[in-house]
Amino acid sequence: MRDTYTVPSGTVQALTVVGLVLAEAIVLYVGYGALVAIVKPSIRELLGGDSAWNSSD
């Protein structure tokens, strides 16, 4: 009996890799954005408040 497993074409494989990389980039972008939103107030407090971030003060 012949093996019925088919290997995807190069185009399908390339599109799959591009899709996975794009999805990973989106997840990392959102994740790091959330992390910064959570940590930023603590860092600002640690450094002495908002005036430490504004050189014009």
In whole angstroms, what is the distance from residue 36 CA to residue 4 CA? 49
In whole angstroms, what is the distance from residue 9 CA to residue 49 CA? 56
pLDDT in tens, 14-44: 999 999 999 999 999 999 999 999 988 888 8
Domain edges within the chain: 10-49
Residue 42: the pLDDT is 85
| Beta carbons of 9 and 1 less than 8 angstroms apart | no
Q: What angle do CA 19, 30, 54 make, to 5 degrees?
A: 140
Split at pLDDT 50, 70, 90, the class of 57 is: very low
Tokens coding 17? 């890799």
| Other Cβ atoms closer than 10 A to 52 | 13
Tokens coding 42? 């603590």
